[in-house]
Amino acid sequence: MRRTTPRQARKRRKSPRKRPRSGRTAKIRRRRTHAVGTLTVPQQHRVDLAAEIRASVVTDGWREVVGDRASEYVASSTFARLTRNYRRRRCRFLADIAKAILAGKAKYHDLVGGLADKVMALFGTERIERQFVRELVTKIPLPGDSRLVATARGVQITGILLCVLNGDDLSRCQCSIDLALEQAKTAVEKLLTTALEDWTQLARFGPKA
């Protein structure tokens, strides 16, 4: 019987190479976020200034009303589970999904179709986050891209709400950081106040080119 050399044995123990992803899921990879500690000095300054404005808008009344608005679009049990046992990475996951929607990399059928769980799982989301996004996008009564923009902004608003409920500094909230880097300070303030009203109005805050 032919004996196996140590070198041959090592080769056999090596795990097979993974095949590259193909199709739709290959295009919807988790995007790199501007996390705290990786910002340039001008970016950090912009985030800090925007955080000061948000602090004046995001009061106890804002938290209560925005929570009520979110509950109008998702089941009360879904929202309760989302806000229970909050972890900061939950905001990062929501931020990634929102950015993918705004960039056109996550379409309606990616969020509610048969592959929705698989697609959103690419962002590291947990089941409750996927459920929240799915319910939100299906309940917003707008057509096409307007529905997606309103959904993305609603997701970002919810991420900020989660950080506020947890007592986190808004300058370290990923959804808050993304808004500060994309939108002007006045636009961020208007978006936060618009969140107190009908969330269909969030469709007015499209992504900046």
pLDDT tens digits for range 151-188: 999 999 999 999 988 888 888 889 988 988 888 888 98
How many Cα atoms sit within 13 Å of 98 on the Cβ side? 33
Residues 6+ apart with CB under 8 A from 107: 148
Whether 209 is in a domain gets the answer no
Whether 24 is in a domain gets the answer no
Tokens of 89: 């990475």
Whether 92 is in a domain gets the answer yes
What number is the average pLDDT over the span 13-20? Answer: 48
Whether 26 is in a domain gets the answer no
Q: Which pLDDT belongs to residue 121?
A: 58
In terms of residue numbers, what domain contains 118?
35-204
Q: How many domains does the chain have?
A: 1
Q: Which CA distances in Å does 189 have to 21, 95, 121, 155, 186?
A: 40, 18, 31, 16, 5
Q: Which pLDDT belongs to residue 11?
A: 52
What number is the average pLDDT over the span 132-146? Answer: 90
Q: Which pLDDT belongs to residue 173?
A: 87
Whether 191 is in a domain gets the answer yes
Whether 15 is in a domain gets the answer no
Q: Using a pLDDT cut of 70, give the percent of the chain over it.
A: 65
pTM confidence score: 0.73
